[in-house]
Structure 1
């Protein structure tokens, strides 16, 4: 089949299912992880490590080239630069600083020259995943040169006692089911995987019995793709900007806003589930055994669906959504700022890093600002309730629990949609129009909490407590 014919087929298929050709290529690349996993299981599992590195490097590069052409070699160059940094500077703190600054700067320069007013699918997408991976390697190699008693429990698990080879870094970075959309995983896990530590019990060179677990994750990924397409029939990004949406009754707008939020998140969840299923099939996702001695395959899990679909507070979203990136930021940014002595400053810095990592669009910064202010509000409310005996008894009453749970489910459903508006719409003119169409509910609730509601509530509670005394 000629290149022109294959491209024509992709265009036709992408038009049929209502996505761009780049998005369809991305989906097909994620699905390519499954046949590659079967090839690895049959012919390469437990074999020479360098042979496995070559397989992962070649297959990942080939998929990257199919998606982005020669631009994929930006990733090769930055891997080589990071390898040279670790080779020359070894496990010193300066190697972490150089790796951090160089890779983040390279990404921002890439955004500057390649970003548009839309969600971009170009070489900066796999590279933003790679930036975290390379910085993580530098940190882990640095930690491997520190006294064990100085390391946190998480750092001890992933610290590297020896410098990775260049081929090993290529295999880790271009792992075909992880380099485009994640999941993020440390070099230590990859190293254990290729060395056969995750092999079938009683063997050292046989792939584990993980096919069923992979199929289940794959099926969930397909399910969420279907739901994503169904929700697309009811609400889209563009519809939220229309006067028709803005003139609808309030309850309908809030319902559609919540549905749109789920539609937006399901796009990511479906890709993560499909990628995770392929990682499970490779055998990379082994995470020890459960209490019954059965193997767990959640080592690269990026979404906890039970928590996500039953959220009653925004902290549940953080605990269930994009787990690997959240864990990375917690381990390599948030916890490393402990010396500042202020949790809110560390959290703000971590969210600022995430916003910068995503790009220049103001929508990213507004979205993570809302995450910060929402978490602040929820912690403040919990503190107020906990410190007031009457409020604490009221909310813990069995008669209040059911309506409270329903109210909180509706709250998280609707306002996650609100918080995602700037992230998805990116440009100020677009998300501010959507804010207006949604009656600025998020600003009225979250932004006004520390400025108006909290001071008034605390004042009356304090006054009432003083009278009681």
Structure 2
């Protein structure tokens, strides 16, 4: 009891000095606990009897979960038990997928409904949302494992399960201390290969994989992003953009500050993902073969591609680089499974709706993903038309023009990513509508109005192409 009081006092003091919620400090401390656990596993349990490894992961994950959420951690245990029974009784069938999907998503939504406030909450529903995808994916993987090999995609062949894993294996998989709280997502097959000692260079003479340095370097990058986030939050906080002083700024300054605010908020997530990825690398579960230069890759659980993200000039670049594991999960288990709809447009819309529902009931999530949808529609619709205009592309090949275009596109993504994040971060309609109003809903007007002018705009571009051809 005394230790717990000291822990709470220390956390409260640190949270106050950093001006962040105590729950956020506790979450970060819990993620960092993964490093000593990874080192202990590396030198005492790596390559040892699998049952010992499973038990170690279960105890570690449950202990961290209890420290954060108390007895609410039992919600994850209940979901585990129900899903395991579904897989044992009807696993590998369409029914098992449907039952697992409905049960886990419904349980998560009930959790959101009973615990949600008007702010972003760090509660037991946070690891539960990670768990939800993991258990639904498990049912899909077992379903794929009952199909004929030639019916599976390359990705499905890597994740398909031929039989139901044991209860101990599934429990260790979901409570794995490097990913239990905030991800990243990875397949059951990757976990099983890891405890079997298969995720390492088979040609290496080293008994232990050389993953410590790459792991700590990745985490160090995460701490760099934390520093930038903290400094940025002091300049453009969430409270500031809903304050009257923000709306009184000049029009162009408001747009710049909005883009900066959006960037800072994204860095909050990136910093967390980089540190958790670092933990997973030190564990050794991220081994991903070798590159073309025969250098070992440790990006098997990477959740952000920093170079693509920082150099983004299209919204699609953000999708390709930000929260990549969740995006990959949605692509494999939602988007591609909706092929029967016969339309990429409908499949994408349904996938984004699922993502919004998975995040919770706040209207801000739905508005955010709607804005993402209309912006992506704009880019995918106009992009091929622009690329087909040879005369325009010839002009863009000029180095000076190319630099100018790059600069304009950077501003475009910088500003409108901030615009799209307004409802996602502020959540309440009274807050995000107020901020949208300070920008006269310009983003909505531009991207929702595009379909109305698209026929004229595309015909104009194609007409220019035709003139060039005639000349």
TM-score (norm: length of structure 1): 0.96
Query: 1:45-444 residue pairs with structure 2 within 5 A?
Result: 45-199=46-200, 201=202, 206-444=207-445
Q: Aligned equivalents of 1:104 and 1:449: distance in 2?
A: 35
Q: Is the 8 A contact 1:199 1:206 kept in 2?
A: no
The superposition leaves residues 91-128 of structure 1 with CA deviations (integer Å, 9 ceiling, x where unpaired) of 11111110001000101111110111000111110000
Corresponding position of 1:454: 454
- The answer to whether the 8 Å contact 1:348/1:372 transfers is yes
1:24 and 2:25 correspond: yes
> TM-score under structure 2 normalisation?
0.96
Q: Is the 8 A contact 1:45 1:206 kept in 2?
A: no
Aligned CA-pair RMSD: 1.7
Contact 1:220 1:270 in 2 (8 A): yes
Q: Answer whether contact 1:200 1:209 (CA < 8 A) is retained.
A: no
CA–CA separation in structure 2 for the residues paired with 1:5 and 1:333: 45
Q: Is the 8 A contact 2:201 2:296 kept in 1?
A: no
CA displacement at 1:380 relative to structure 2: 1.7
Q: Deviations over 1:174-219 (max 9, x none)?
A: 0001011110000000000000002464579933111110111011
Give distance in 1, aligned partners of 2:458 and 2:407.
Answer: 26
Structure 2: distance between partners of 1:96 and 1:143: 10
Kept in 2: contact 1:201–1:208 (CA 8 A): no
Cα gap change, 1:461 to 1:324, in 2 (>3 Å): closer
- Aligned-partner Cα distance in 2 for 1:30–1:334: 31
- TM-superposed CA distance for 1:54, in Å, is 0.5
How far apart, CA to CA, are the structure 2 residues paired with 1:118 and 1:418?
19
Contact 2:134 2:185 in 1 (8 A): yes
Q: Deviations over 1:128-183 (max 9, x none)?
A: 00000001111001101100111111101111112111010010000001011110
Q: How far, CA to CA, are the matches of 2:229 and 2:408 in structure 1?
A: 25
Shift of 1:18: 1.1
User: Quick one: distance in 2 between partners of 1:250 and 1:357?
Assistant: 35
Report the CA distance between 1:444 and its aligned residue.
Answer: 2.7
User: For residues 393-429 of structure 1, what are the alpha-carbon distances to aligned partners after superposition, in whole Å with 9 as ceiling and x for unaligned?
Assistant: 3334444211000100111111110000110011111
Task: Please tell me whether the aligned partners of residues 263 and 418 of structure 2 are also in contact (alpha carbons under 8 angstroms).
Answer: yes
For structure 2, which runs of at least 5 residues remain unmatched after alignment?
none
Deviations 1:277-322 (A, max 9, x none): 0000000000001122221000000000000000010000001000
Distance 1:98 1:454 in 2: 42
Q: Distance in 2 between matches of 1:398 and 1:310?
A: 18
Structure 1 residue 384, shift from structure 2 partner: 2.4
Contact in 1 for aligned 2:308/2:321 (Cα 8 Å): yes
Q: Distance in 2 between matches of 1:393 and 1:203?
A: 50
> Conserved in 2, the CA contact under 8 Å of 1:45 and 1:205?
no
- State whether residues 196 and 205 of structure 1, in contact with CA within 8 Å, keep that contact through their aligned partners in structure 2: no
Distance in 2 of aligned mates of 1:459 and 1:279: 51
Question: Closer, same or farther in 2 for the Cα pair 1:267/1:466, shift >3 Å?
Answer: closer
> Which range moves more in the overlay, 251-260 or 184-193?
251-260
Q: Identify unmatched segments of 5+ residues in structure 1.
A: none
Between the aligned partners of 1:188 and 1:462, the Cα distance in structure 2 is 49
User: What is the distance in 2 between the residues matched to 1:139 and 1:13?
Assistant: 43
SS in 1 for 2:118: coil
Count of residue correspondences: 468
Could you tell me how far 1:90 is from its partner in structure 2? 2.4
